[in-house]
Amino acid sequence: MNILVLMKQTFDPEEKIAFQYGTVSEEGVNFIINPYDVYAIEEALLLRSLHGGEVTVITVGPEREENGLRTALAMGADKAIIINSDDLNLDEYSTVKILEAVIKNREFDIILAGNVGVDYGSGQIGPRLAEELNIPQVTTITKLAIVGNEAVIERDVEGDKEVVLVSLPVLVTAQQGLNEPSYPSLHGIMKAKKKPIERIEIDDLHMEEVLEVKTITTETFFAPKKGAGRILEGDIKAQVSELAVLLRSEAKAI
């Protein structure tokens, strides 16, 4: 079974985040594998242990992403690919176009990705890539089993679960609860140093015409602090009238 995993690095959400010029400052920031991508990597390793095959982890990003790939290799992945996007301003559209160009001519049975990134949380990369590759997709999965040429999948649906039966190849996005990720062992870390990382330059893909971004982030900022709640008193009719006034004048919701 050929298993591909999409991975990215994000800033550590446990670290103090600072903004500079309307974006997150990377100065002194500790970068980690996006936590949802860790679930995807672990699930790929579990699938390989059951069905054999090979796990390849793929990332689009600057050279520092190699640290994340080495961690994935130490966890047990077989191969890694980095598409170097240094000095490029990419959005979900252009990132997916790059991934499609790299993946479309490779053999794969399943692609795993994190449900969202903990940095900007768009949740678009996996679904967009599945559309470009013209394969089925199932998001926010919490259980996965491969039976023959089909996948039996459970996914979150607002407090309940849905069971989906889908033919391979398929792309799935991992949700918390899918598995319990393991830490790289010392032996795994040592072996990772000898595992191959394939490096691809954007110029090698000859796709300059599709790298123009479709979305632009103008500013990133902290959510405003929530004020104290308010308890409305009086009979129901009076409370409803007061609530309507507050929603209009203070919350600006209506």
Question: 101-112 pLDDT, tens per residue?
Answer: 999 989 999 999
Both tokens of 33, joined, read: 């594998």
Return the HEC string of 209-237.
Answer: HHCCCCCCCCCCCCCCCCCCCCCCCCCHH
Q: What is the pLDDT of residue 210?
A: 66
Using the structure block, give the residue that is written with the tokens 């967009």: 128
Both tokens of 155, joined, read: 């996914």
Domain boundaries, given as residue ranges, for the chain: 2-210
**Could you read off the pLDDT of 153-206 as tens digits, one per residue?**
999 888 788 999 999 999 999 999 899 998 888 888 888 888 889 999 888 888
pTM of the entire predicted model = 0.83
Non-local CB neighbours of 155 within 8 Å, separated by 6+ positions:
138, 139, 140, 141, 142, 161, 162, 164, 175
Least confident of 91-100, 117-126, 157-166: 117-126
CATH class entry, domain 2-210: alpha beta
Asked if 93 contacts 208 with a C-beta cutoff of 8 angstroms, the reply is no
Both tokens of 116, joined, read: 């969202």
User: What are the b/e assignments for 205-222, b being 16+ CB within 10 Å?
Assistant: beeeeebeeeeeeeeeee
pLDDT above 80 (res 220): no
What does the alpha-carbon distance between residue 230 and residue 47 come to, in Å, rounded to a whole number?
51
Packed helices 65-75 and 35-51: angle between N→C axes, nearest 10 degrees? 40
Q: Read off the amino acid at residue 135.
A: I
